[in-house]
Chains A and B, each alone.
Chain A
Amino acid sequence: MSLSNSPLATTSETGAPLPPPDPAAVAASGQKIRTPWREFWRKFKKQRLAVYAGVFILLLILIAILAPWIVPFDAENFFDYDALNSPPTWTHWFGVDSLGRDIFSRILMGARISLASGFFSVAIGAVIGTVFGLLAGYYEGWWDRIVMRICDVLFAFPGILLAIGIVAILGGGMINVIISVSVFSIPAFARLVRGNTLQLKNLTYIEATRSIGASDTTIMWKHIFPGTISAIVVYFTMRIGTSIITAAGLSFLGLGAQSPTPEWGLMLNEARADMVTSPHVALVPSIAIFLTVLAFNLLGDGLRDALDPKIDQR
């Protein structure tokens, strides 16, 4: 960092003006302007595992988008009756299930469902939770007490129990699974954002903003909300893993996706009957869920370390 922009540094101790800084010299010395984005990237790329996890997730998203065009067989309606429960072969890369369906194709199509259920359920929870958290933290008072009490009650139900209760009301199917899983993300985001808002709103820059006459809405959205984004992003990433597991768990229990949908949890449930003779049918969706969730958790860990100002100033 060059001090030459500061008025104090324009004259030396002898009173003679300093020569203007040479931009070429600054560039040559390897000094870059430290934007928050660059700072984040510098720290993030040190986290090897998180970078690999991020690349894996990007690939997975790409595969999920392209799945209908790249699957070798129809995931739901192609039946290879000569290869029932066959282990992996050159034609069927991940083997065949008990009905003769190609597991590789089903896994690819299932990636769409799992990623979508993970992402959308957390997104719904994050949006609602953030709005409530911002309002609760900013206005405090009775509104804050009500929101936090509702959060306490939602926290009093174990997540999957709440989801099962909501599925019992709404009925099965992936859309209802996404809604029910999103509900228990709401209190977590609300608390997180409320905590951050309480800290931020007492800082000088907020006072300054208010003194020039900014409205509450402007202060909340333009000045407080950006300060909470990094915490939201970290939590969002970590939450996706949990939500994918919960959604797959509901389908595993028979309360989510219905046969013949190639949902990973449902595939695992259907494979249980033939576990003894052909364990690969259960193993493949297990590994798929594990790797996907692992990638989100590793990425979340990496993001947390890169975005937390307390960690490393090297």
Chain B
Amino acid sequence: MFSFVIKRLLGLIPTLLLVAVLVFLFVHLLPGDPARLAAGPEADDKTVALVRADLGLDKPLPEQFVNFFINAAKGDFGKSIRSKRPVSEEIAARFWPTLWLTIVAMIWAVLFGLIIGISSAVWRNKWPDRLGMTLAVSGISFPAFSLGILLMQVFSVELGWLPTVGDETWRHYILPSLTLGAAVAAVMARFTRSSFIEILQEDFVRTARAKGLTETVVVIKHCLRNALIPVVTMMGLQFGFLLGGSILVEVVFNWPGMGRLLVDAVEMRDYPIIQAEILLFSLEFIFINLVVDVLYAVINPSIRFK
């Protein structure tokens, strides 16, 4: 198991390097001169030259990249153009609210997705299936931002049951995580259904039934574990979707997370923040996929020895 994790970690290195290069080049692809942007619109040429030297932008590209890489490894991304505070500080305050939001959304998305998917497969072409799949295709088609606005209107404004914005208590988490998780729950439900239908036709299921096990035991004990393998892979892919979706949901619910910071940064052309955020989002996504790979190996022992 340990060597499996190490192997996966080593396999990530080329991807990580390419991501780092892309994020580094990002600043150089921008229209205009990053030094002039950092110095501000009123700065004269002398100041711009000073800022350029200060940011290290006058050095050759490979050297700049090495510096960027070393600084990034130390968690130093420079200063925000807007607030003049270190980027790492700005992001640190925003990191956990986003991570918690995505995790809560993922937990209930998987839970609902599994329940809907399994009941749809077990009662195939009957009403639970039709209801579940109608919900699922609607969930995929409903954009998170309009779902969030509508949920907020109904539950916070009209009924007054839940708070509208902020992240102080668990009640604040309900609407944003529901909004964020809806599409993923829908994808999970569809995916679980098709994977479960295939498994229900396997020989071992017939054997289990033939030896007189109840249908509940067959479904929960014999099918679920096998059906989980593709579902777990799907979970990893969907996590990226959640991270991306959190950007929109955070804007709707005024959530103090990384997504809202990113949107503000793009509007303000605050490049150091954008750069650090893109890197962080990608790292988080890559890391989650690693976790998923390991989980996958836990569920399916045959993977570990390949």
Q: Which of the segments B109-117, B142-150, B210-218, B223-231 contacts the partner chain?
A: B142-150
Q: Is A165 a contact of B26 with CB atoms below 8 Å? A: yes
A255 with B137, Cβ < 8 A, contacts A158-B244, A290-B143 known: no
Q: Is B244 a contact of A275 with CB atoms below 8 Å? A: no
Chain B, residue nearest A298 (CB)? B137
| Bound-state Cα–Cα, A149 to B26, Å | 19
Which interface residue of A160, A254, A290 has the most chain B CB atoms within 10 A?
A160
Q: Is A161 a contact of B243 with CB atoms below 8 Å? A: yes
Q: Is B281 a contact of A279 with CB atoms below 8 Å? A: no
Overall SS of chain A's interface: helix
Q: Is A252 a contact of B278 with CB atoms below 8 Å? A: no
- Bin chain A's interface residue count: 35 or more
CB under 8 Å from chain A, chain B span 1-42: 14-15, 18-19, 22, 26, 29-31
Chain B, residue nearest A241 (CB)? B141
Per the CB 8 Å criterion, the residue count for chain B at the interface is: 43
A253 with B143, Cβ < 8 A, contacts A149-B15, A164-B266 known: no
| Bound-state Cα–Cα, A157 to B152, Å | 29
**Nearest Cβ on chain A to B247's Cβ, whole angstroms:** 6
Q: Is B244 a contact of A156 with CB atoms below 8 Å? A: no
| Bound-state Cα–Cα, A265 to B251, Å | 13
Chain A, residue nearest B17 (CB)? A153
User: 7 tightest A-B contacts by CB?
Assistant: A158-B244, A286-B146, A294-B141, A160-B244, A293-B141, A158-B240, A153-B18
| A residues apposed to B, CB below 8 Å | 149-150, 152-153, 155-161, 164-165, 167-171, 241, 245, 248-249, 252-255, 265, 268, 272, 275-276, 279, 282-283, 285-286, 289-290, 293-294, 297-298, 301
| B residues apposed to A, CB below 8 Å | 14-15, 18-19, 22, 26, 29-31, 137-138, 140-146, 149-150, 152-153, 157, 240-241, 243-245, 247-248, 251, 262-263, 266-267, 269, 271, 274, 278, 281-282, 285-286
Q: A152-B15, A253-B263, A255-B266 are in contact. List 13 more A-B contacts (CB 8 A).
A: A157-B282, A158-B243, A160-B245, A165-B26, A168-B269, A168-B274, A248-B145, A253-B251, A255-B263, A282-B150, A285-B146, A289-B146, A293-B141
